[in-house]
Structure 1
Amino acid sequence: MISRTERLLNHTVLAFVSILVLFPVVWFFFTALSPNQGGQLDFGNLHWGNFGTAWRLGGFGHAMLASAVITIGAVTGQTVLAILSGFAFGVLGVAGQRVIFPVVLLGLMISAEVFIVPLYYTFQSLGLTNSWLGLIIIQIGMGVPFGTFWMRATFRAVPVSLVEAAEMDGARAWRILWQILLPISRPAVLTLALLSFMWTWNDFFLSLIFIADPSIQPATLALGVFQGRHSVDVNLLAAGSLIVALPVLVLYAFFQRHFIRGVLNGALKE
């Protein structure tokens, strides 16, 4: 049993760490509200109009729509393929999986910079550069290796007796997956979707390479262009950065309990 002194010490340490983590965030937020171009803090004169100015000057309306389309498409594809491949490798057993699964995991070890040039010319020949569809396909391909590993570990942690009981009752593979395994693995699936959303939304490198048309560029590229045009407007840069980061922050705020539980469950699995 934890003593009162130990509990007080734990709370003190956690409070101190929380302050260290939150202080830069709060500082950045008030910088975005600064009426001064240089971003000097002025708590008595908060300028909320900085967000509207940044939104208008940065053209974030079209950019946020582009990011939403790309991210939703990529996250949906990554999650579905990860569930199916994780089920195949973790429960059904795939012929030659001792060779195929390590090959899939190579996607986690090879940096995008290694194959970006041949990938670009391949997509250019297919007419998929400078398009949302091409970027969605690339993001799906980049995310499937991790998703496969994640869902395989999740499904293999389910007691084998549960799957065997379902098979004895006449349940086929699809029913076992959708009605038994997925409800049990909901925190892990939600965590995977949130991670995929965060990685895809925050992507800059792939978007920079494959998207050249300013009218379809995602939010991260729009923020980069905005930074180049308004490098001296620190308050507007902070406001634009918060605008781009807002969807990720909102999703995490709503699903943080599921996210933390999914990560902790994943840490206890193989």
Structure 2
Amino acid sequence: MTMAPVQPSGTTEKGDYPWWLVALLAIAGILAAVIVANDIFAQVFTVVVKGIGVTVFVTLTGFALATVLGLGVALMALSEHVVLRQVARFYTEVIRGVPILVLLFYIAFVGAPALVVTVNFLASPVIAAGWVEPIVVRDISLMWRAIIALMIGYSAFIAEVFRAGILSVDKGQIEAAKALGLSRYQRFRLVVFPQAIRVILPPLGNDFVAMVKDSSLVSVLGVADITQMGKVYASGSFRFFETYSIVAYVYLILTVGLSLALRALERRLRRADTR
């Protein structure tokens, strides 16, 4: 049996030209022309894009916080202390088992009031002295409740990504770093993390793209993101086809653009490895 020739690393196989991207760009161009030419689509687009700033802010802030929290949980899961490992596993399994929408409602309508009660209780001496005013639930905006919910929900998945990436580093290199007298922090910063990031980046990028889409869930709290702006416009004008076509179009621009940027970064890291 004749073996097919092996393609050199980094080359593109025959027929692997990104026709999907060409087709997607063609559709995007047609829709852009429709938006320019059609007054109804143009009006819907003008309304929907007002929510892009909120969507981007919620996504970036939520993902940054989730990454920090996820890294902390991952380090706990890899700790030498059994209590920290068990706490990290408990947190990960519980949070991953709760749907994001349920978590969103829980944080918004249960967690936030509970936090207010706790803070007021702890600050009761200074409140009684008249130094500060007690906080109320409405002091915590719905947008920040949504960000906290996304942070908690995604941190469990990101923790597993970090844990897998750290475990992918060869133990011999860690032992060599110990033999050189590097501290635990130095081993992580200089040896483990630079190698683990190449494994971590692709699934972490997938989680980032997924959060862009899941940020649309904040509309159930009335946060004025892309989805909420479209929902309000459609309910008043009954232009559901035009509205949700534009909403999908805007989300596709965001997610496909992010995906292409992440793939470019991955290729750059692979080229750096081959040097």
| Common topology (TM > 0.5) | yes
Pairing of 1:158-177 with structure 2 (within 5 A): 158-177=169-188
Letter in 1 for 2:198: P
CA distance in 1 between partners of 2:86 and 2:71 (Å): 20
1:88 maps to which of 72, 76, 79: 76
Compare CA radii of gyration and give the structure with the larger one: 2
Q: What corresponds to 1:151 in structure 2?
A: 162
Offset at 1:113? 5.1
CA distance in 2 between partners of 1:185 and 1:49 (Å): 50
- 2:197 is aligned with 1:186: yes
CA distance in 2 between partners of 1:191 and 1:65 (Å): 25
CA distance in 2 between partners of 1:51 and 1:197 (Å): 29
Inter-CA distance 113–197: structure 2 relative to 1 (3 Å threshold): closer
CA distance in 2 between partners of 1:34 and 1:110 (Å): 41
Inter-CA distance 66–93: structure 2 relative to 1 (3 Å threshold): same
- 2:209 is aligned with 1:222: no
CA distance in 1 between partners of 2:71 and 2:42 (Å): 40
Q: What corresponds to 2:89 in structure 1?
A: 102
Q: What corresponds to 1:2 in structure 2?
A: 4
CA distance in 1 between partners of 2:166 and 2:174 (Å): 10
Q: What corresponds to 1:57 in structure 2?
A: 47
Per chain length, whose mean CA-contact separation is higher, i.e. which structure has more relative contact order (CA < 8 Å, sep 6+)? 1
Q: Describe the SS at the equivalent of 1:203.
A: helix
Gaps of 5+ in 1: 5-9, 36-45, 263-270
| Cα deviations by residue, 1:204-261 (Å, 9 ceiling, x for unpaired) | 564133x33xxx5222322333443455475565344323332222221122155599
CA distance in 1 between partners of 2:210 and 2:180 (Å): 41
Q: What corresponds to 1:121 in structure 2?
A: 109
Inter-CA distance 149–168: structure 2 relative to 1 (3 Å threshold): same
Inter-CA distance 180–88: structure 2 relative to 1 (3 Å threshold): farther
Letter in 2 for 1:242: Y
Letter in 2 for 1:47: A
Q: What corresponds to 2:64 in structure 1?
A: 76
Letter in 2 for 1:245: L
Letter in 1 for 2:68: V
| Cα deviations by residue, 1:19-59 (Å, 9 ceiling, x for unpaired) | 6x975774465245337xxxxxxxxxx7398875444233x
Letter in 2 for 1:187: R
Letter in 2 for 1:96: V
CA distance in 2 between partners of 1:173 and 1:179 (Å): 10
Letter in 2 for 1:94: H
Inter-CA distance 259–94: structure 2 relative to 1 (3 Å threshold): farther
- 2:122 is aligned with 1:134: no
Inter-CA distance 66–116: structure 2 relative to 1 (3 Å threshold): closer
CA distance in 2 between partners of 1:205 and 1:243 (Å): 12
Q: After superposing the two structures, state which structure 1 stretch, 227-236 or 161-170, moved more.
A: 227-236
| Cα deviations by residue, 1:133-161 (Å, 9 ceiling, x for unpaired) | 22221111001111111111111111111
Tell me if structure 2 keeps the 8 A contact 1:54–1:236: yes
CA distance in 2 between partners of 1:185 and 1:147 (Å): 13
Letter in 2 for 1:107: I
| Cα deviations by residue, 1:64-115 (Å, 9 ceiling, x for unpaired) | 111122111111111122223323323x433235633431223222324555
What is the count of residue pairs matched by the alignment? 237
- RMSD between aligned residues: 3.6
Tell me if structure 2 keeps the 8 A contact 1:31–1:235: no
Tell me if structure 2 keeps the 8 A contact 1:50–1:239: no
Q: Describe the SS at the equivalent of 1:202.
A: helix
Q: After superposing the two structures, state which structure 1 stretch, 196-205 or 157-166, moved more.
A: 196-205
Q: What corresponds to 1:251 in structure 2?
A: 258
CA distance in 2 between partners of 1:189 and 1:72 (Å): 18
TM-score (norm 1): 0.69
CA distance in 1 between partners of 2:240 and 2:201 (Å): 38
Offset at 1:117? 4.8
